[in-house]
Structure 1
Amino acid sequence: MRVVDLIEKKRDGKELSKEEISFLLSEYLNGNMPDYQMSSFLMATYFNDMTANELLEFTMTMKNSGDTISFDDVRRFLVDKHSTGGVGDKVTIVLAPILAALGMGTTKLSGKGLGHTGGTIDKFESIKGFSFSNTRDELVSIANKTGIGLMGYSDRIVPLDKKLYSLRDVTGTVPSIPLIASSIMSKKLAIQSDVIILDVKVGDGAFMKDKEHAKELAERMIEIGKGVGKKVKVVLSNMDEPLGYSIGNANEIIESIEMLKGKGPEDLKEVVYTIASLALKAKGEIEELPDGKEKIDKVINDRSALQKLSEFISESGGDGNLINNYNLLPQSKSVLEVFSKKEGYISKIKTEEIGKAAMIIGAGRATKDDIIDHAVGIKIFKKVGDKISTGEKIAEIYYNDGKNVETSKNMILQAYTIKNDKVNKQKAILEIIE
């Protein structure tokens, strides 16, 4: 078997066998196949797609390229929720304690943010003393005590994905639907769970800019799940405006805690309640998604979900009293208020620009080596459909270093499109695919 023959086969739109895919990926992982040959294969895949059989084999070979983690000693129905990333996406921070209070468990790998999207790890690490589990035993211990099991990605889990992604990043093949699907699902399948719930963000601030491609990605990931007998459910959620009002790390922790106190933004609530209800349905506790609302309301109103977050923070080395004292979080030295120069209705928000406006003041990373300033960020006061007057506050910028703050302010103002005609509010959930 020769690598060049397999590249030509994929170039010509023919289906590769299990043995051929396994050989190809093994050769690359073991260093026997040069980058230029794998680049050719990736580009051929970009143009010719993968069949269902190819995609399943490709994903499982990736998954089996490194360690897998089982949680037989965690005594809960396990939910692995994954988001494709967005601006202000703090869903995991709110969802995990709710699932724990409902008697379920979260077992997932969380990532760091890069570019205009934030990462769950960065948000939790804004808490003084907080440290993610480094070993499976630590994760199991905290998950059994609190119902929340989160840890950072390890190079030992799906190492082939890391190697392939680095190549895709410089060869123009990142947007390939089958390559995205296999990248996400190989990591999800490497971690034991009872159900995988994928939050695929759609819109200006998301990787998937339109619903058509997002839906295609969702269906391919569900297809992979079915191939291995795994329950996979997908939510398509709106990222044509930031989720909630806070962008940045410490201030997203605050907004998450407020949500657990029953005072969170409606769009964040809609996404969290939908995913929690999907988990309840997968477990068999409810028949229809609206039936989940009462159960979720109960753990919010009796503060049991909030208490779970406090316990998780304490078990992870932080101060659990943070839920009552936000001064325990890092504070920015300065605040710049941003005022609208126009009057009318917010018709559009360039969400990616808002994310970049936060990134350039230190809330995110332009490169993997950049250091995050957990105290800084942006709070917006207007969403699509809101009325605004000239001189009315549209945002606040929390910053420590004034170097890029004026640029950030201008980016925020330019991100907002204001028109005379009234515009409808946007829906947070675009579609649910099961």
Structure 2
Amino acid sequence: MSPYTAVELIRAKRDGHRLTDAAIGWLIAAYTDGQIADEQMAAMAMAIYFRGMDDRELATWTRAMIATGSRMDFATLNRPTVDKHSTGGVGDKITLPLVPLVAACGAAVPQLSGRGLGHTGGTLDKLESIPGWRAHLSNAEMLAQLSDLGAVICAAGSGLAPADQKLYALRDVTATVESIPLIASSIMSKKIAEGAASLVLDVKAGSGAFMKEVDAARELAGRMVELGKAAGVQTVAVLTDMSTPLGRTVGNALEVREAVEVLAGGGPDDVVQLTLALATEMVSLAGLDTDPAQILSSGKAMDVWRRMIRAQGGDCDAALPTARFTDDVRASTAGVVTAMDAMAIGVASWRLGAGRARQGDSVQATAGIELLVRPGDRVDAGTPLLRLHTDTPGTFAAAREALTDAIVIGSDPPATRPLIIDRIR
């Protein structure tokens, strides 16, 4: 007979009491095994949303999530392992140039990625716009590719922290996604189980991020760094701005094209800046004495990219798909672009077909938005501001509705916002 019941633990957390290590271990294992009903775990998630978890509860919760599955082992690799995770944003294609760049610096980067949901894009969705590329690799294939190239971007197997997969799906439909302890445990249970020795976290703050306020993003970053350290993973977090989309494209094939531009020595300044900043952190944690900027300019990162894509069946030389229909959003007045709302642009891209409302929905490789201007640019009435891309022109109206107040045009240039806000060790 179980020493606990779900009801008593829900009541305890609801009333602000701390859950014991043993209680948390039983709760996570019982839920994963189907002994606790979804509605009961939903009540617990809501109790945690309002009452939070202290550091010990959070560490125990995270360990219990990891214990429901397997852990990867990279001990046989002859390179130091380092991973990266972003909390998600709009136009965030940084993983694409970052992984081959850090691999070209001498590290092994086992980047297990996911798919987009809502306004945030998914790395796997982007890469699947490359003809032939496949997301699913066996552990043996993944290890062989890491040993050979030092770079892999693929789907996580179902064996890593299965409790999180079940709990995240529940949180998504019960308005408890934004809980800081539940976000921290969700991210870190998977990242610790992935087995890399070091981890760099890109924690977003701003309108296009889960954490709108910098203070909340800083709290999330700090709690994740502590979880990593407690698990023996060297962990650093970088707080970055997500009030404006990253780069000049939002969408799957559009973002791949921009990432390749970065690897070729071009690309938007903000994408290059953040790629190099995160690469520098990753290379440092890996103990490598290499300058990522020099490696990027040498073309070595592009070589690794091409080999990585080919290793997973992709055709690097094939043309990326393009949308059958485009539509420009134009300025209604002259002035200076003072703001571009990342959330609104992300929602519009989703409505065009670049994202999904529910897990399992299909996405359009071609759908998305080009940013034809940036904050600080001067425009005239009629100047194209955004170019909408889709294969389904019936979505233009809904996308335009999302963009109603997305771009603010004023008389004075906006204050400069730093892309990198803070660094937390």
TM-score bin, normalised by smaller chain: over 0.9
Q: Aligned residue for 1:289?
A: none
Q: Aligned residue for 1:210?
A: 213
In the alignment, the residues of structure 1 paired with residue 357 and residue 11 of structure 2 have an alpha-carbon distance, to the nearest angstrom, of: 37
Q: Does 1:346 align with 2:337?
A: yes
Residue in structure 2 matching 1:273, options 267, 271, 276: 276
The answer to whether the 8 A contact 1:385-1:426 is kept is no
Per the TM alignment, residue 284 of structure 1 is displaced from its structure 2 partner at its CA by: 3.0
SS at match of 2:34: coil
Report matched runs for 1:221-232 at 5 Å: 221-232=224-235
Q: Aligned residue for 1:66?
A: 69
* 1:197-236 deviation digits (Å, cap 9, x = unpaired): 1111111111111111111101111111122222111111
Per the TM alignment, residue 402 of structure 1 is displaced from its structure 2 partner at its CA by: 1.1
SS at match of 1:394: strand
Q: Does 1:334 align with 2:325?
A: yes
* 1:98-145 deviation digits (Å, cap 9, x = unpaired): 101101121121001111111000111001111124211111122222
SS at match of 2:199: strand
Q: Does 1:170 align with 2:173?
A: yes
Normalising by the residue count of structure 2, what TM-score does the alignment of the two structures yield? 0.95
Distance 1:297 1:227, change over 3 A: closer
Q: Does 1:303 align with 2:299?
A: yes
The answer to whether the 8 A contact 2:84-2:200 is kept is yes
Q: Aligned residue for 2:245?
A: 242
In the alignment, the residues of structure 2 paired with residue 354 and residue 172 of structure 1 have an alpha-carbon distance, to the nearest angstrom, of: 22
Per the TM alignment, residue 410 of structure 1 is displaced from its structure 2 partner at its CA by: 4.9
Q: Aligned residue for 1:25?
A: 28
* 1:249-295 deviation digits (Å, cap 9, x = unpaired): 11111100111122111111121111111112212345xxxxx7xx1
Query: What letter corresponds to residue 88 of structure 1 in structure 2?
Result: G
Per the TM alignment, residue 353 of structure 1 is displaced from its structure 2 partner at its CA by: 1.3
In the alignment, the residues of structure 2 paired with residue 410 and residue 52 of structure 1 have an alpha-carbon distance, to the nearest angstrom, of: 43
The answer to whether the 8 A contact 2:81-2:286 is kept is no
Distance 1:362 1:12, change over 3 A: closer
In the alignment, the residues of structure 2 paired with residue 120 and residue 24 of structure 1 have an alpha-carbon distance, to the nearest angstrom, of: 32
The answer to whether the 8 A contact 1:384-1:424 is kept is no
SS at match of 1:128: coil
Report matched runs for 1:28-427 at 5 Å: 28-285=31-288, 295-321=291-317, 328-412=319-403, 414-427=405-418
Per the TM alignment, residue 370 of structure 1 is displaced from its structure 2 partner at its CA by: 2.5
SS at match of 1:368: coil
SS at match of 2:361: coil
Distance 1:9 1:408, change over 3 A: closer
The unaligned stretches of length 5 or more in structure 1 are: 287-291, 323-327
In the alignment, the residues of structure 2 paired with residue 24 and residue 299 of structure 1 have an alpha-carbon distance, to the nearest angstrom, of: 48
Q: Aligned residue for 1:2?
A: 4
Query: What letter corresponds to residue 334 of structure 2 in structure 1?
Result: E
- RMSD in angstroms over aligned alpha carbons? 1.7
* 1:128-170 deviation digits (Å, cap 9, x = unpaired): 1111242111111222222112221333221111221222233
The unaligned stretches of length 5 or more in structure 2 are: none
Distance 1:304 1:204, change over 3 A: same
In the alignment, the residues of structure 1 paired with residue 13 and residue 349 of structure 2 have an alpha-carbon distance, to the nearest angstrom, of: 42
Distance 1:385 1:231, change over 3 A: same
Per the TM alignment, residue 413 of structure 1 is displaced from its structure 2 partner at its CA by: 5.2
Identity of aligned residues (%): 37
* 1:337-379 deviation digits (Å, cap 9, x = unpaired): 3321121122222211111211122111122232211122211
In the alignment, the residues of structure 1 paired with residue 204 and residue 115 of structure 2 have an alpha-carbon distance, to the nearest angstrom, of: 17
Distance 1:398 1:40, change over 3 A: closer
The answer to whether the 8 A contact 1:133-1:139 is kept is no
Query: What letter corresponds to residue 351 of structure 2 in structure 1?
Result: I
Mean alpha-carbon deviation: is it higher for 27-36 or for 81-90?
27-36
SS at match of 2:121: coil
In the alignment, the residues of structure 1 paired with residue 392 and residue 172 of structure 2 have an alpha-carbon distance, to the nearest angstrom, of: 31
Distance 1:356 1:36, change over 3 A: closer
Runs of 4+ deviating beyond 6 Å: none
The answer to whether the 8 A contact 1:384-1:426 is kept is no
The answer to whether the 8 A contact 1:97-1:148 is kept is yes
Per the TM alignment, residue 72 of structure 1 is displaced from its structure 2 partner at its CA by: 2.0
The answer to whether the 8 A contact 1:340-1:413 is kept is no
In the alignment, the residues of structure 1 paired with residue 89 and residue 333 of structure 2 have an alpha-carbon distance, to the nearest angstrom, of: 27
SS at match of 2:201: strand
In the alignment, the residues of structure 1 paired with residue 323 and residue 11 of structure 2 have an alpha-carbon distance, to the nearest angstrom, of: 56
In the alignment, the residues of structure 2 paired with residue 28 and residue 316 of structure 1 have an alpha-carbon distance, to the nearest angstrom, of: 35
Distance 1:36 1:362, change over 3 A: closer
Query: What letter corresponds to residue 313 of structure 1 in structure 2?
Result: I
